[in-house]
Amino acid sequence: DAKTTQPNSMESNEEEPVHLPCNHSTISGTDYIHWYRQLPSQGPEYVIHGLTSNVNNRMASLAIAEDRKSSTLILHRATLRDAAVYYCILRDRSGSARQLTFGSGTQLTVLP
Amino acid sequence: NAGVMQNPRHLVRRRGQEARLRCSPMKGHSHVYWYRQLPEEGLKFMVYLQKENIIDESGMPKERFSAEFPKEGPSILRIQQVVRGDSAAYFCASSPAIGNTIYFGEGSWLTVV
């Protein structure tokens, strides 16, 4: 899987939007961009994924740059429960990359 | 639809004992993955299995660790003769088919004393 780069940590205020960036300059045309998060003492939780177009679901939005070399996970209104480590992962859509390869992610702190 | 179920959630073993961790994938999922997270470290892939077959065990330690996913019943991660360095959180995940979204369980925390 291609490498991704994320900031080690970010802070946000409760009830404000959060934009979590991810750089993936070596992304290939067949790589999906996946986001997972891991709350303390819990397993990773699937958040969202996309290929080229921006994606929205009940948890978050994913904005993908036109050249696909970067993406941003958007939490529209942060809550204390959103404090977690957020992982941006590339995964080949052909399925040849069977497992997910986790990096160090971004530790999000939400301030009350 | 129940999620990925792991048990036990917490397990304490003395050095030299065996640890068995069980994982029931989501309904309809035939692909299972095991990951390990050592204290203060990231998630590391261990093994990927389909029913009755080990597909990729490139992340498994060469000795003492084994995994199976029988035709009936849960997937089992077995650690023989545990050592203190095996203390970690072990996460199971499942997907319905290769390339599909992978969903994780809550994890099993192994402490070796």
Per-residue tens of pLDDT for chain A, all 112 residues: 568 999 999 999 999 999 999 999 999 988 999 999 999 999 999 999 999 999 999 999 999 999 999 999 999 999 999 999 999 999 887 655 577 889 999 999 999 9
Please tell me the predicted confidence (pLDDT) of residue A99: 79
**pLDDT > 70? residue B1:** no
Cβ distance of B107 and A42 shorter than 8 Å: yes
Across the interface, do B45 and A100 touch by the CB < 8 Å criterion?
Answer: yes
Q: Is A101 on the interface with B (CB under 8 A)?
A: yes
Helix, strand, coil percent content, chain A, rounded in steps of 5? 5, 45, 50
Quick one: pLDDT at residue B81?
98
| Residue A83 to residue A63: CA distance in whole angstroms | 20
Q: What phi-psi label fits residue B64: left (phi over 0), alpha (psi between -120 and 50 degrees) or beta?
A: left
Higher pLDDT, B57 or A98: B57
* Dist. CA A81–CA A84, nearest whole Å: 8
pLDDT for the residue B18: 98
The confidence score (pLDDT) of residue B53 equals 93
Report chain A residues whose CB lies below 8 A from the CB of B45.
99-101
Q: Does the CB of A21 have a partner CB in chain B at under 8 Å? A: no
Q: Is a pLDDT exceeding 80 seen at residue B52?
A: yes
pLDDT number for residue A95? 59
Q: Is B53 on the interface with A (CB under 8 A)?
A: no
A105 in B contact zone (CB under 8 Å): yes
pLDDT digits (tens, 9 = 90+) for B2-25: 799 999 999 999 999 999 999 999
Dist CA A52 CA B73 (whole Å): 39
User: In the prediction, which pLDDT does A94 show?
Assistant: 67
Instruction: Give the pLDDT score at B97.
Output: 82
Q: Would you call A99 and B105 a contact, using CB atoms and an 8 Å cutoff? A: no
